[in-house]
Every structure is written in C-alpha cells, then in structure tokens.
Amino acid sequence: MADTAVFHPGRRRNLLQLTAFIGLHAIVIIGALLMFFPFLWTIITSITPGASLTTTPALIPENPTLDAYFRLFEERPFGRVILNSILLAGITTVVQLVTSSTAGYAFSRLPFRGQTVVFAVYLATMMIPLQVLIVPLFVELKTFGLLNTYLGALLPTFASAFGIFLLRQAINQVPRELDEAATIDGAGHFRIFFSVVLPNIRPALATLVVFAFMGSWNSFLWPLVVLRSPELQTLPIALAGLQGQYISNWDVIMAGSVVSVIPMLALYIFAQKYVIQGVASSGIK
C-alpha cells in the first residue's frame, strides 16, 4: 500500500511540476547572475586602485577607493560631457514623442490614399544602416553650416520609424468607439488625440521614452562625425577617449563606464512596468 501511494499519478505529477518549477527558477537565477556579473566586475574594477588588464581584481577589493571617480571629473570635463548627453538625449526623446505620436495617430485614424505604401516605406527605412547615410547627412549639414553644433547632432534623430510603428500599433488597440463618442460630443481630431488617445497609450509612450533616450545616450558614430569640439562631446565619445588616455589605468575607464550606465539603469527600473505593457500591447515580439 505504501509503494502504491508513493507512485500515485497525482503525486508524481506534483513532483514533476515542483522539479520543473525549481529547475526553471535555477536556470533564470544563473542566467541573471551571468548577465549581472560584467556590471559587477566593472564596479569592482572602478574601486580597485591600480587595476589594469594584466591584473584580475578580487571580488572583494582589499583597499577600495573612489579615487578613480575623482580623477575622472578632475582631469577631464566629464561633468560637461554628462550634461551634453542628457541634453541631446532629452531633446531627442521629447521630439520623438511628438513626431511619433502624431504620425502614429495619422496612420491609425486618418485614412488617406496610399497609406499602406507610405507606412511600408517608413518601415523600410529601419533596414537602412546609419553607416549608409553618414556621408549624405554630413554633406547636407555642412551645406547648412550645422557641423559641430547641437542642432546638427539632433536633426537626424527627430523622427523615428520604430517610434511611429510602436505608437501606431498602440493606437490601433484603442477602441474606435471612444473616438465616435468624443465626436458626438463635438470633439475634433486634436481633442480626441490629447484627451482620448494619449491617455490610453501611456505604456507605449513610456516604452518609446526608454528606447529613444537609450538610443541617443548610447549613440557613438553620428556624434563622433558631427561634433568636433571637446566641449560638445557625448559620453560614448568621451569613454572612447578614456581608453587612449588611461590605457594602463582601467579603474578610471571603468569608473566612466559605471557613470554612463547608472542613468540608463535608473530610467529602465523606473519605467520597467510600462515598457513590458507597451511592448505587449503593441504586438512587438
């Protein structure tokens, strides 16, 4: 009787479910640790005095210090660099919110001849790498005298095909009955856009904020080409310069990496819930 109870189908099923549950969580925890370890190693290296490529920092440094962070801000205009990145990323994010939301509303709610073709062309631009556009963009901005200016760095980032697609998909999920009810109350397109559509796509807007800010914050090639003055440099360019200046002092280089990651990490933690909701509601997989 005892043997029969041990191998009861119900108990075996519960045991298999428990084993699968534990195994799945073990895999997730191991994967999370593997993903977090490079960031942890970066922090440890930044507080290990005299760290270099020839030495392996201990997981618990013997004499941890913040000297690398002080050197970073004393020997280079790193505060100005951070402000440059925040300024460019902030303006890019705000403008992309405006252009993507209005264009997404037009593609979703204002049918016009050739709408499908135009939208397909917009999506096709996502397949064109930036490297192909560098030369014509450079020549165009040189003609208008916008090289080595904030505006020159910002102009190519004001419109985002991905942002338009994301918000158009989100607006498609908003019931049209809400538009019709607002129209009966005398609302026009602007009123419907601001009072009906935008409040219902806040998760998608938050998702675009994260992607737009992160894309501008991590942008390297275009700022490198268009911004020549050291006082206009952004974080990725400054970090590349650190590798040349402090090639034997990796604690300073890693201190710069930590400083560059913290704002993005804080933004993602704050908007994580909205990002998941926005991606799920827009149908992006």
- Give the pLDDT confidence of 78-101 residue by residue, as tens digits: 889 999 999 999 999 999 999 999
Give the Cα separation of 92 and 122 in Å (integer). 19
Residue 122 binned pLDDT confidence (cut-offs 50, 70, 90): confident
Q: What share of the chain is helix, strand, coil (3-state, %, to 5)?
A: 80, 0, 20
pLDDT digits (tens, 9 = 90+) for 200-217: 998 889 889 989 999 999
Going by C-alpha positions, the residue among 163, 147, 243 that lies closest to residue 207 is 163
Q: How many CB atoms lie within 10 A of CB 93?
A: 22
Half-sphere exposure of 48 (CA within 13 A, CB side): 21
What is the predicted pLDDT for the residue at 56?
Answer: 63
Q: Does residue 104 surpass a pLDDT of 90? A: yes
Mean pLDDT of the chain: 85
Encode pLDDT of 263-281 as tens digits.
888 887 777 776 666 666 5
Q: What is the pLDDT of residue 55?
A: 63
Asked if residue 227 has pLDDT above 60, the reply is yes
Lowest mean pLDDT of 4-8, 39-43, 239-243, name the range: 4-8
Q: Is 237 left (phi over 0), alpha (psi -120 to 50) or beta?
A: alpha
Q: Is the pTM of this model over 0.95?
A: no
C-beta neighbour count of 207 within 10 angstroms: 26
Give per-residue burial for 224-251: e unless 16+ CB within 10 Å, then b. Answer: ebbbeeeebbbbbbbbeebeeebeebbb
Question: How do residues 170-192 score in pLDDT, each as one tens digit?
Answer: 999 999 999 889 998 888 889 99
In this prediction, residue 283 carries a pLDDT of 52
Task: Give the span between the Cα atoms of 130 and 226, in whole angstroms.
Answer: 13
Whether residue 196 has pLDDT greater than 50: yes
**Cα–Cα separations (whole angstroms), residue 214 to 46, 129, 192, 262:** 23, 18, 30, 12
